[in-house]
Each structure stands twice: as structure tokens, then as C-alpha cells.
Structure 1
Amino acid sequence: MAYKTTLHLLFLILLKQSLLLVLLLPLSCFAQTGRNMMQINQQSRQDFNRMVNQRNQDFQSRQMLRSRSGSGSGLMTAEQLAQAQAKQQQLEQAATDKLTQLARQQQQRREQYPAANPQQAALQQKKDEKQLNILTVKNYREVFLPGQVVNALQAQQLPARAQQNLRNLNESLTDKLWWKKQEGAGLTAKLTAYSDTLSSLTTSLLGFDLASPPAMPPPFSLTGLTAQLATHTFDQTAATQLVRDAALSDKLVAGEQLAKAVNNFRSLSTAAVQSSPTNSKKLKEDVQASLRTVNKEMERYYARISAAHALTDAQKALLKSTSDYLAKNRK
């Protein structure tokens, strides 16, 4: 019994000493610990947010890839693209033929059953024009608009041949043996050729002159189109321009830094040709650094264009506007 009592007293003494040690610690220790915990939590939140953002970006990219190809299997091959374009041309021709046929039938009917007076003739003409407009809007909504959007989405990426050219360019300019084999005018000539290739494929990708990009198109607006539809008229050319402007807006925003990086690479190549550099090591380092910047901006372009929405917003707005018109004028 005495032994147990002694152990109990020792335990109480040790506990009391531990509490005293804790109480004697300076407040700065607790403050520092709190700050460390806050920093850890903040870092964890940042890491989590980055992870979520990356997942969202990956999801958007996958969704964009599926919409570009028309399926869930990835981007179109050159053969698939050619087949899709041929099919689209057939659909557009069939839609145009249908509109021509309706106009011909209307003309034949007016000739076969002429109006009794000018007023009735004007009313019949107005009725026929409305029917033609309804079919025009229907054709645009179901045939022409989808084709325009698919083409615009497909144009947001480099075709397979251009991708291979870019890979070849990178392989050469990052290869030590390639640089050792180049001398004098031969080196500058090849740099010029690579610069021309890079500028050409980037110009084709972005759809505008890299040295003088076009101005940003005006904000998307359906005001004019809505006013037309209210009077049973429809300017398909104007609707097509809205799609083109939206696609250009996406590319101007997504490709601004890529265009600058390629222009800088071209300037470096031009300077090398004009000055005939004697320090090949310095030239190599400058060229490779510039190329790394181009590659980085190319990756950023793809991330930005995948998240861009001006084109898809325009598509949705045009679909809704034309659908509403057709619903109101359904027979």
C-alpha cells in the first residue's frame, strides 16, 4: 500500500513540474508555433487550389478535344478531317439545293396561280419570302453553323504535319552534334530556314500576321441579327462573321505571348545573319533560350485556347436566337 502511495505522489510531482515548464515557456514560442501552423495550412490550401485548378484545366482540355473531334476518341487525323470536310460540303450543297428548289416552286406557283390584284400579289410575295427566310435560318442552324464552329475549333491546333515540323526543328536546335556540324554561312542559312518555318506554322495556327496582329473584334452582339429576324430577314454572311470574330478574339488573347516569342526568335535569327557572329557558343545559347520560350508559350497557348469561350458563347447565342425564331414561326 505504501509503495502504491509513493508512486502516486511521484506521478503528481512530475505532472506538476511539466505544467510549470509549459507555463514558463515564453509567449513567442506559442506565437511562432501558431505562425508555422498557419503557414502550413496556407501552403496546403495553395497546393490544393493548384491541384483543383489543374484538374479543372485538364477537364476543360479533354472536353475541348472531344468537341473538336466530334467524339470522345481525341483529335481528328488528317484523313478524318478530310472526310468530315467532304461530308460538310455535301450537307451544305444539299441545304442550298433545297432552298433553290423552294424558290423555284414558289415562282412556278405564282405563275400558275397569279394574284387577282397587286395587293394580293404583294401579300403572296411577302409570304413566300418568309418561307424562304425560315428555311434559310433552319439551314444555317442545322448545317452551316455547326460546320463553321467545327472548322474554327480544328483551326485552334497545329495540324499533324506542322507538329512534326516543330518537333524536327526542336530536335536539331537542341542537338549538340548538329551545332558542331554547322559553320559560318551554313549555320545562319539554316537558322533563317528554321525561323521561317516557325513563323509560318505559327501564323497559320493563329490566323494573323505575327508582326502586325489585327485589332480585337468588337464585342459580340446579336442586336442586328435579332432586328433582322423580327422582320423575317436573315443575313447569313453577317452571322458567319460573328463566328469568325469570336474565333479570332479567342486566338488573339490566347496567342499574344506566343506571337511575341516567335517574333523574338525571328529577330535573333535575322541579327545573326546580318552580323555574322563569331561566338557560336553564345549564339547557340541565345537560340536555345529563345526556342525554350517559344515552346513554353506554345504550351500556354494551348492551355488558354482550351479555356477560351468566345467562340462557344457565340455558338450558343446563335443557336438560341435561331431556335427561338424557328419556334415562333413553326407551321
Structure 2
Amino acid sequence: MKSPKPYSLLDLAIIREDYDAKDAYERSLQVAQHAEKLGYTRMWLAEHHNMANVGSSSPQILIGYLANGTSKIRLGSGGIMLPNHSPLIIAEQFGTLATLYPNRIDLGLGRAPGTDQTTATALRRGRHESVQEFPSDLDDLRQYFSEDNLDSKVRAFPAEGLDIPIYLLGSSMSSAMLASEKGLPYAFASHFAPGYLINASRHYRENFQPSEHLEKPYFISCVNVIAADSDEEAHYLATSFYQTALGIIRGRSYPMKKPVKSMEGIWTEPEAAAIQNMMACTFIGTKESLKPQFESFFRQVEVDELMVSTNIYDPEKRLRSLEITAEVLG
């Protein structure tokens, strides 16, 4: 493919069937170390709560764990759900991470709770925070990082004065509008919500306002990739991913299940159709068959960086998938 783009990785520390959270964290570290060797630019961890088989409820802690086991790959949040937290706390936490691991920490921010409303209420302990407060929370957070905050009565140490890249995350038009207005890089969750991808990316680019942080728009699209040495194997491995997605459709948290020969009898026709629609930005195949899929995608969407989510049950098969992906995109 022409003009290789930076490629990165999203991880949720999904717990495999017959294994526990410790295994998920160890596999995430293994993936980070492997991705670093393969030239991946960054690895982000998402924030989710009250999901028994998603291990990334505390991305801040996992970022530190992965950073301590790697040397150069960027680590960050994809994202921190800011309405769940005090901007001061996030500034202090990421200021600490950036101090320990300089020039390696990203702060991706989302406005959704990353959970159900009852759990969101428990997280916020009565604070009536909503998505409407997200822009002002973002301003507060950026102020804590600013050198101009030195005369404030409330200061964030050791965050003050640190240049930690902030990315806005989204799956609709709202964050695209805010990212373009604030002059911030923008990452779109096309791996599970592709519906607004084209319109959001176009609006972001056409309305981008240069800022002290970013002179021109920088757009990241996250997609699902399942790669293997044969198309048959890739589609077989993808059944683990489909079974996890089925949990989303059913409102349940399933562990990462072993692949199966066929999804027939596991999902219904309406469920299969819903998953295929939700996972429209999913690429499955070999190095040879993935290339035209990516080329078609890049013709439709102008992206500056591609972030991949690769959910495969077998750890070694997952590492191999990351190798093939790097060969295609590098």
C-alpha cells in the first residue's frame, strides 16, 4: 500500500474462558512487548466497569504496569471516561505516569460512562455529572496541566506544566465537533460503532481549528483485525470475537471463548445481522487478502493513524495476527 500510516493497538484485557484477570493482564503485557518490537506506535487501554470479563476497569494502573515492562511504545487510555472522575484526580494520575515514563503517555478521553447507568451512579457517588459537563471538565483538566495554573488555589502535582497529549474519543458527531473546535486529535470507535464514521471524520477535518497543541487535524480510526496464515484459519479464529460481540448484543459480559467451526446454533439470524452491522469495520484474512480490504477502507476514509483491536483466544495466534497486520500496514 502507498504511504504507510502509523498503526497502533487497542486492548481491553478481556478475560479468556477458563482463565482469570491475572492471565489477561499478563497477556496484555505480552502483547505490548510484542507490539513494541513490531513498530506499533501506541497501545491504549479502555475503561469499562461492572463487566465480569473485561479486565480494564483501571486503565491508569494497567498503563503503569505495561510501561514498566516496555521501553519505547507509547501507552495510554482509550479512553478515560472523564464524567466518572474528577479532572484533578486524572491530572494527578497521568502527571505521575508521565513523570515516571516521560514522552510515552497519552491521555485519551471519552464522555460515555463505560458501563450501565446504575454503575455510573455508584462511580460518581451522587455527583450529577453528565455528558453536558464534558467540555467544561475538559477545560478544567487542561488548565491543571497548564503552566498558567501556578497561581490557582488548586494545583495538580506533578501534572502542572507537563505536555501530555490529549485525544478526544467518540462514536458520534458530538466529540468530532468538540475535537475540531478545541484543535485536538480525534479517535473514532469504528470498531464497534461505524455508523457515523464518514460524517464524523469529514466534519472534524473540515471544521478543525488549529491550536497550540495541533496545527492540523489528526484522525485515528479504530478497527477490528483478525489475521492468520490462511483465510480459513482467520475466519475460524474470528468466531471467538463474534461470541464476545454476541455478549454485547445480549447485554451480557462473556469471556473470550474458544473458536468454533460454525456460529450456527450459537447466534440467531437477527443477532448475526446485528453483529455484522456493528462490526462493519472488521478485517479478516491473510496478508494478501487484507491488503485490498485496507486499501478500500482508506479510499473511503482519510485517516492519519489506524488503531487495531485484535480479539483472539489463543495468545500465540493473537501475536501472529499482530505480526501480519504490521506487515500489511508497515
Q: TM-score range by the shorter chain?
A: under 0.3
Higher share of residues assigned strand: 2
Q: TM-score, normalised by structure 2?
A: 0.24
Higher share of residues assigned helix: 1
Q: TM-score, normalised by structure 1?
A: 0.24
